[in-house]
């Protein structure tokens, strides 16, 4: 398949994704809402980064803009060296298909397809066959060996999210964006899914960015960045749940 954008193997120092002075405004006039206000952030390769913030802080918008799902108002967003604003819809679609993996909160899988078909869907959309060895590795990592022929309705919420994680990893994307991937799960299933996300970073060398408002979830990451009112306000390396919670509480008291 000919590639129209050229992410010519970026240097090791180049982050997997980067936003520079990213601003996103919804609406005009009275309904004008600034969701992101000049955010500059980098997501390093083979790292697990959590984006935290209260509801409405712009963390989902940040993810959607950085993944090319939403056009930005101003500023720059790059994935693996490709400037998203310069891409046409088709190129953007191809970039999402080949360079980005997604895990959403609730609706992740097509109900009509089996777990395996859901996992390989991005590859099939690209007209490619999954690499058998890699498929085995990913399936083994997320522990879904016996459930590949099941439909989503026959899987538990945790299993569904694991299928989504497997799908996100299968195309060996530059970066995986996970939007509240544990939001609908009980704490045990949530911990499992977070474990797989972290394993995929540690063992499979993937890059994961996870949006969450749960300090426990954020504690699985290597690094946490904090958003409030559309601005990047803080970050934390090698976080613990308590440390994250402390920061959150600090913002709450400052904000009021």
Partner 1 sequence: MLRTALRHVLAQKTRLIQTVLAVCLGVAFISGSLVFADSTTAAHRAAMSQDYADISVTVRPKSAPVADADERYGALDDALVRTLAAVPGVGSVRPVADGSVTLAAKDGTPMRADSMRGKLGVAYAPGADGRDSRYPLVSGRAPRNGGEVALYRGTAAAGGYSPGDTVTLATDGPAFRKRLVGTVSTTDSRVTAGGTLAVFDKATAQRLFAAPGRYSSVDLTAAPGTGESELAARVAAVLPADRAEATTADAQATQQSVLISTVTRSYERLPLLFAVVSLFIGTFLIVNTFTLLVARRSREIALLRAIGATRRQVVRSVLAEAALVGLAASVLGFVLGLGVATALPHMLDTSGDLLPAGPLVIGPAPVLASLAVGVGVTVLAAWLPSRRAARGSLPSRRCARPSSRRPRRSPGSAAGSVWSRSCSARACSSR
Footprint on this chain of partner 1 (rule: CB under 8 A):
26-28, 31, 33, 35, 54-57, 60, 64, 67, 69-70, 89-90, 93-94, 96-98, 102, 104-108, 110-113, 121-122, 124-126, 167, 183-184
How far apart are alpha carbons 182 and 191 in whole angstroms? 8
Tell me how far CA of residue 142 lies from CA of 14, 75, 112, in angstroms: 28, 36, 21
Q: With respect to partner 1, which residue has the nearer C-beta, 155 or 239?
A: 155
**Least separation in angstroms between CB 27 and partner 1:** 4
User: If DSSP codes are grouped into helix, strand and coil, which group holds residue 115?
Assistant: helix
Q: 199: helix, coil or strand?
A: helix
Q: Which is nearer to partner 1, 64 or 247 (CB)?
A: 64
Distance of closest approach, residue 123 Cβ to partner 1, in angstroms: 9
If the CB atoms of residues 108 and 141 are measured against partner 1, the closer one turns out to be: 108
**What is the rounded CA–CA span in Å between residue 78 and residue 16?**
8
Closest CB to partner 1 among residues 154, 240:
154
Q: Please, what is the Cα angle at 182 between 112 and 176, to 5 degrees?
A: 75
CA angle 77, 108, 25 (to 5 degrees): 35
Name the residue nearer to partner 1 (CB basis): 126 or 243: 126
**Residue in the structure block whose two tokens are 């360079």:** 99
From residue 154, how far is each of 39, 115, 118 by CA, in Å?
41, 10, 14
Residue 224: CB minimum distance to partner 1, A: 20
Q: Which is nearer to partner 1, 165 or 239 (CB)?
A: 165
Residue 41 backbone phi and psi in degrees, to 5: -155, 150
Give CA separation, 15 vs 18, 68, 97, 132, 249, in Å.
7, 17, 19, 29, 30
By DSSP bridging, strand 100-103 and strand 82-83 are: unpaired
In the complex, the smallest distance separating the C-beta of residue 75 from partner 1, rounded to whole angstroms, is 18
Closest separation in Å from C-beta 55 to partner 1: 4
Q: Which is nearer to partner 1, 73 or 222 (CB)?
A: 73
Segments of 89-206 assigned E as strands? 100-103, 175-179
Residue 250 Cβ vs partner 1, minimum distance, rounded to whole Å: 19
Element (H, E) at 211: strand 208-212
Q: How far is the CB of 52 from partner 1 (least distance, A)?
A: 14
């Amino acid at each position: 398949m000919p590639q129209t954008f050229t992410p010519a193997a970026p240097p090791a120092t180049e982050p997997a994704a980067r936003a520079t002075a990213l601003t996103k405004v919804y609406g005009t006039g009275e309904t004008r809402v600034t969701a992101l206000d000049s955010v500059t952030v980098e997501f390093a390769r083979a790292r697990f980064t959590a984006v935290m913030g209260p509801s409405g802080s712009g963390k989902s918008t940040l993810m959607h803009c950085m993944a090319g799902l939403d056009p930005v108002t101003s500023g720059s967003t790059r994935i693996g060296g490709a400037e998203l604003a310069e891409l046409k819809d088709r190129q953007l679609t191809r970039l999402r298909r080949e360079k980005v993996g997604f895990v959403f909160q609730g609706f992740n899988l097509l109900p009509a397809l089996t777990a395996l078909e859901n996992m390989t869907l991005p590859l099939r959309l690209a007209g490619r066959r999954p690499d058998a060895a890699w498929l085995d590795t990913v399936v083994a990592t997320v522990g879904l060996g016996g459930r590949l022929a099941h439909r989503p309705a026959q899987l538990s919420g945790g299993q569904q999210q694991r299928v989504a994680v497997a799908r996100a990893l299968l195309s060996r994307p530059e970066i995986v964006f996970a939007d509240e991937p544990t939001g609908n799960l009980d704490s045990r299933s949530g911990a499992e899914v977070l474990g797989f996300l972290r394993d995929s970073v540690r063992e499979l060398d993937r890059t994961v960015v996870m949006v969450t408002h749960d300090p426990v979830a954020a504690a699985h990451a290597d690094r946490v960045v904090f958003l409030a009112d559309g601005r990047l306000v803080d970050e934390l390396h090698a976080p613990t749940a308590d440390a994250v919670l402390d920061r959150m509480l600090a913002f709450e008291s400052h904000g009021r």
